[in-house]
Each structure stands twice: as C-alpha cells, then as structure tokens.
Structure 1
Amino acid sequence: MKLSLILAPYDSGHYHVGFGQGPEALISGGIVEALALNGHDVAVEDIGQIGESPRREIATGFAVCRAVSIKADAAVSEGRFPIVLAGNCLSAIGAVAGEAADSIVWVDQHGDINTPETSIHGFLDGMALAVAIGLCWKPLAASIPDFRPLNPARCMLVDARDLDPPEKRLLESLPIIRAAVRDAPGEVGKLKAAGVSRTHLHLDLDVHDPDTLQVNRYAAPGGPNPDQLRQMACGIARSIPVVGLTLTAYDPAFDAKAEVPPVVGRLLIDFLAALERI
C-alpha cells in the first residue's frame, strides 16, 4: 500500500517538546523500515514549524490542523493512505478535514469533549472531539481547509474511562456511540446505520493500560493492552471503510526502554493488512 506518514510534532503550541517529540521518536524507532519490509511504499511528510507565534497554544494548534489538512488532502489525491503522527489529539481534526471523512472512531482514555464553558482545566486538547462535532471554536475550525462538523451520531467514542463530570453530562445529551475497546468492532454497525462511508480512526496511545505500556505521564489505570488495541483496530479496519489514521500523545521521556515504537509498528502492520483485505 502507498502510505503518507504525516508528522505534526507539537504539544500545546510548542514544537518538538513533550508529546511533540513522539512523532520523531516513532520514526527513529524503526516504523518506516518495518512498514517497508512489509511491502508498503512509505513517504514521510513533516509539517515543520508552523505559525508566527509558536507559544500561543490555540493559534498554533489550529495552524497545525490547517497544515495537516493540506498534507492529508495531498496524500489522498496521490492515492496514499494518510497516517498522522501527532503530539496533540486536536491534529486529528485536520486529518478528518483533509480526508473528507464523514465519521470518526475516537479511541482515547479521555473524552476530549469539553468546551471552553465546561472545561475544568482549560486544556485545548481536551476539546478536540468537541471541535470535530462543531460544539466549540467554530471560527477557528472553519479556517481549516475542507472542515465540516461531523454529525455526533456518526462518532464512536471508545474507552473514555477518565471523564470530567461536565463531559459525562454532555455525553448523556449527545447521540455519540460509546463502546469499550473489546466491543468497538461489533458496534460499527451503528455507524453503518447512520450512513457513513469514510471513517477516520483516531488512536490516542494513552488509551493503553499504563501497567502494560507507559506512553505519557497522564495515563490512568485500566484500558487495553497492546494486543487488545491492535485487535480492535484490525476489527474496525475489516468492518468499515477507514480512510485515515491518527496516532497521538506519545512522550518518549516516559518510555525509557523504547517499548512504544515496536508496538506501534506492529499495530500499523496488522491494521494495514486488515485494511487491504477489504
């Protein structure tokens, strides 16, 4: 398969800091070589340093989304499957826009569905899914090329075991599909019933159980092990048309033994194999 690995190495507006070091660490950890050995044609695209004010989280975050959208659109136009390696989850909004996805499977220990009105911490990345469905930051979201808010009924939120009280109340009022990792492939029928044809799969790597794989300092107890997450991703790939993938939130400072890159490499190899069988 022809692939485009799109690197968006930012964390809260900062370039190559914290989670922003994750994309390069994954590349250095050998995922390009692993994919090539399995027959894939891999192009690596780095969005580079974006914006005039790199320390302004909100402005830079949406500038990154715009750059990711352009790169993802170019990949699709060239017949390449876009895989975004990003620091922050907000970058997935750019991928969804560039791929013209009409649905999303959002796999994360967090809900990422706060808004400025509900957020306890004011963390922009905790609003990423809310942006995707048009709940907040509407003018900035509209600046992303080809962005269109997704229908909440065409969204599946998987795991989300660490929710703020306002997020829980908001989710109760929305038709977003909720699922555990083990059940997610079986719940895809609900997305199909909503008429979806182009799904984006978003994997925040801190969904992993930190007792089996530590990817950053925020991981809460519980969650799937790497085998379970890989099996879920493959099940999604076999069940619904997936047009792009994001992988986020890896901070190599919390991975002293460099265990994450080979786990991600195996996940990608098996996921793409499942995708090619459709």
Structure 2
Amino acid sequence: MKITIILASYDSGHYHGGMGQGPDALISGGLVDALTMAGHDVEVEDIGRAGDGQEREIATGFAVCNAVSGEVRIAIDRGRFPIVLAGNCLTSAGAVAGEGADAIIWADQHGDLNTPETSIHGFLDGMALATVLGLCWRPMATAIPGFRPIDPSRCVLVNARDLDPAEKKLLETLPVIRTECPGVAQATQKLKAAGAKSVHMHLDLDVHDPKTLQANRYTTPGGPDPEQLRDAACAMALAMPVVGITVSAYDPAFDAQADVPPLVGRLLNDLIATIEGA
C-alpha cells in the first residue's frame, strides 16, 4: 500500500513538548522501517509549526487541525493512505475533515466528550471527540477545510473508562455505540446499520491497560493489552471501510525502555494488511 505518515508534533499548543514528542519518537523507533519491510511504500510529511507560532492551546490546536486536513487531502488525492501521528486527540478533527469521513471509531481510556460548559479541567483535548461530533467549538471546527461533524450514531467509543460525571450523563442521551475490545463485532454491526460508509480510526495509545503499555501520564486501570487492541482494531477494519488512522498521545518520557514504537509498528502493519484485504 502507498502510505503517507503525517506528523503533528503538538501537545496542548506546544510544539514538540510532552506528547508532541511522540510522533518523532515513533519514527526514530523504526515505524517507517517496519512498514517498509512489510512491502509498503511510505512517505513522511511533517506539518511543522502551525498557526502564528504563539503556542496558544486553542488557536494552535485548531491550526494543527487545518494543516493536517490539507496534508490528508493531498495524500488521498495522490492515492495514498493517510496515517496521522499526533500528540493531541483533537488532531483527528483535521484528519476526519481531510478524509471526508462520515463515521469514527474512537479507542481511548477517556471519553473526550466534555465541552467548555462541562469541563472540570479546561483541557481542550478532553473535548476532542465532542468537537468531532459537532457538540462544541463549532465555529472553529467549521473553519477546518472539509470539516463536517459526525453523527453520534456513527461513533464507536472503545474502552472508555475514565469518564467525568458530565460525560457519563451525556452518553446516556447520545446514540454513541460503546464497546470494549471483546465484543466489537456487535458494535461494528450497529455502525454499519447507521449507514457508515467511510470510517476514521482514532487510536489513543492510553487506551491500553497501563500494566501492559503505558503511553503517557494518564493511567486508569483496565483496558486491553496490545494484542487485544490489535485484534479488535483489525476486526473492525475488516467489517468497515477505514479511510484513515490517527495514532495519538504517546509521550516517550513514560516509555523508558522504548517498548511502544515496535508495538505501534505491529499494530499498524496488521491494520494495513487487514484494510488491504478487506
């Protein structure tokens, strides 16, 4: 497969800070080599600094989305499959926009369904999925080239277990499809029934059980091990047309033995093989 890896090296508006170091660490950890050795044609594009360089969380976060949308669209127009390596989850809004995706699979220990009205911590990334679903930050999201909010009935939330009270309440009212890694077959059936035609797959690496893989400072007990996530992601990709992938939230400061990059390589290789064969 022809693949374009797009680097969006930001964490909360800070270039190459915290989880913003993750994209480069995945590349230096052998991700391109792993994909190339599997027979893929891999190019890497880096959005570099986005916006006006002032590193403001909100303005810069959406500037990153704008840049990612453009790079994703260029990749697709060239017949290449886009994989975005991001520090922040909000970046998936840019990937969704560039792909024109009408559905999303969101694997994350968090719900990312807060809004400015409900957020306890004021953390923009805690509103990432809410933004993708059109529940908040509408003017700024609409300004992302190609962005259209995804209907909540076409959203699968995988292994979200660290939810704020307002998120739990919201999920009682939304038709979001919830699942854990065992049992994704039923979730994808519901996604298909909702009319999904093009799916973006968002993989926040902190979805894993921190006992088996700790990707960043956010840890909540439970979650899948790497093999369980690979199996679940591949099962969903076999059942639904996946048009792009985002891998987010890897902070190499919490991975002293550099265990994460080879695991991401295996995950993406298995996913791409599944998408090719679907």
TM-score, normalised by the number of residues in structure 1: 0.99
Whether contact under 8 Å (1:7, 1:47) holds in the other structure is yes
Instruction: Note the alpha carbon deviations across 1:162-201, whole angstroms, 9 max, x for none.
Output: 0000100011110111111111233101111111110000
Q: Which amino acid aligns with 2:251?
A: D
Whether contact under 8 Å (1:15, 1:54) holds in the other structure is no
What is aligned with 2:47?
A: 47
Separation in structure 1 between the aligned mates of residue 53 and residue 264 of structure 2, nearest angstrom: 32
RMSD: 0.7
What is aligned with 1:246?
A: 246
What is aligned with 1:213?
A: 213
Instruction: Note the alpha carbon deviations across 1:233-264, whole angstroms, 9 max, x for none.
Output: 11111110000000000000000000000000
Whether contact under 8 Å (1:2, 1:41) holds in the other structure is yes
Measure how far apart 1:53 and its partner are. Answer: 4.1
Separation in structure 1 between the aligned mates of residue 173 and residue 187 of structure 2, nearest angstrom: 19
Instruction: Note the alpha carbon deviations across 1:64-110, whole angstroms, 9 max, x for none.
Output: 00000000111111111100000000000000000000000000000
Separation in structure 2 between the aligned mates of residue 226 and residue 54 of structure 1, nearest angstrom: 37
Separation in structure 2 between the aligned mates of residue 271 and residue 146 of structure 1, nearest angstrom: 25
1:3 match: secondary structure = strand
What is aligned with 1:56?
A: 56
Separation in structure 1 between the aligned mates of residue 97 and residue 119 of structure 2, nearest angstrom: 24
Q: Which amino acid aligns with 1:138?
A: R
Structure 1: 5+ residue runs without aligned partners? none
Q: Counterparts in 2 of 1:1-278, with a 5 A limit?
A: 1-278=1-278
Instruction: Note the alpha carbon deviations across 1:27-49, whole angstroms, 9 max, x for none.
Output: 00001011001000001000001
2:113 match: secondary structure = coil
Separation in structure 1 between the aligned mates of residue 245 and residue 105 of structure 2, nearest angstrom: 10
Separation in structure 2 between the aligned mates of residue 40 and residue 153 of structure 1, nearest angstrom: 34
Separation in structure 2 between the aligned mates of residue 266 and residue 25 of structure 1, nearest angstrom: 16
Q: Which runs of 4+ in 1 moved over 6 A?
A: none
TM-score, normalised by the number of residues in structure 2: 0.99
